[in-house]
Structure 1
Amino acid sequence: MPVVFRDRGRKFHFYSDEGTPREPVHIHVSEPGCEAKFWLNPAVRLARKIGYTE
């Protein structure tokens, strides 16, 4: 799980071999007790969230 960015305790990361068939381009954001996944194309949008209230 390569981490591409860290900010205020959040990790922005991806998995190099995720999904069968392969999922569209996306990024995971996580911090203790919370995780979210964002699709990146054609525009950034929330795919799912766990633990975040906003």
Structure 2
Amino acid sequence: MPTVLYISGWRLFFYSNEGSEPIHIHAQKADMECKFWILSEEVDIKEAFSYNLSTSGRKEVRKIIFKNFDLIVDSWNSYFNK
């Protein structure tokens, strides 16, 4: 389970067996968890699912993902040899 980033209590990661899926990132903080699709061509994200994610948590993690968009895409491509 490669971790891309720890920031503000959030752990952003992906699972090593998910290379056949489109680029995405999981985020976890306390009992909140979510997954966002990374739309690299559009430089956008789309929520795939969330569990116990508060409105403020959603805003916070979206901001973190956008600030680290290139790092997430590069980490995914590097790990999965894309």
Q: Structure 2 length as normaliser, TM-score?
A: 0.57
Extract unaligned runs of 5+ from structure 1: none
Q: Which amino acid aligns with 1:10?
A: W
Q: Does 1:52 align with 2:53?
A: yes
TM alignment of 1:16-27, pairs within 5 A: 16-18=16-18, 22-27=20-25
Structure 1 residue aligned with 2:9? 9
Q: Which has the higher strand share?
A: 1
Larger proportion of helix: 2
Give the Cα–Cα distance (whole angstroms) in 1 for the partners of residues 17 and 31 of structure 2.
Answer: 24
TM-score normalised by structure 1 residue count? 0.81
- The 4+ residue runs of structure 1 with deviation greater than 6 A are none
Q: Decide which of 26, 29, 49 is 2:27's aligned counterpart.
A: 29
Gaps of 5+ in 2: 56-82
**Aligned-residue CA RMSD (Å):** 1.6
Give aligned pairs, total: 52
